[in-house]
Structure 1
């Protein structure tokens, strides 16, 4: 039997505050950050708002985000989070530009559909 001291690493849940650097653009709210990998910096949200007869609809909500300590997908650099399809997707600037170009093209198609709808209404009447 050895008389040398032994060490072992034991995983324990420690609850204490952690002081971290916060980017100037962060809105300062860090809900649900129980563990270091959960820490996410988020800037203010911006949304497109469309008024319908049933009330306002917000869409394409976006914000600057950074998860510097994330275990699954660390984001050491700020990203743009864009919410569509019910999910928030973290995109790099080039991907955001590709997304906006595709969205602009799709908006042109919506204008074509609106024009076609006007034409059909004229033909069919009230």
Structure 2
């Protein structure tokens, strides 16, 4: 099986042909500079139902790779967007996941229990 490739035009290196990861969506608009080239996977969203606004996306995540980056790792990462974009390797992503689970089953669960008491008239 032959490797899939993609060619992206850049301002500093002209046409750059490179391997295309199987998970990449294949969307490569004009990237500007070679160091800016990104492979991006499909985004997944965390959407929650809110009483006043209906469904609201509170986070997005997906695979990301910058094969020519001069500043960071060239290996794939997971980008997670809450208030802004954050990038995680496998180790730091595990820490984020642990923190989210701990938050959900710890303080958030305690708030839920307290709210149930308050709604039941136990002020």
TM-score range, shorter chain: 0.7 to 0.9
Measure how far apart 1:17 and its partner are. 2.7
**Larger strand fraction of residues:** 2
Give distance in 1, aligned partners of 2:108 and 2:49: 17
Matched residue, 2:86: 89
Measure how far apart 1:59 and its partner are. 2.1
The yes-or-no answer on 1:101 pairing with 2:104 is no
Provide Cα deviations, 1:44-93, integer angstroms capped at 9, x if missing partner: 000111122312111221101111111222x2211111112x21111011
Instruction: Provide runs of 4+ in structure 1 moved above 3 Å.
Output: 13-16
The yes-or-no answer on 1:71 pairing with 2:70 is yes
Matched residue, 1:114: 112
Count the aligned residue pairs. 111
Runs of 5+ in structure 2 lacking a partner?
1-10
TM-score, normalising length from structure 2? 0.80
TM-score, normalising length from structure 1? 0.78
Partner SS state of residue 20, structure 1: strand
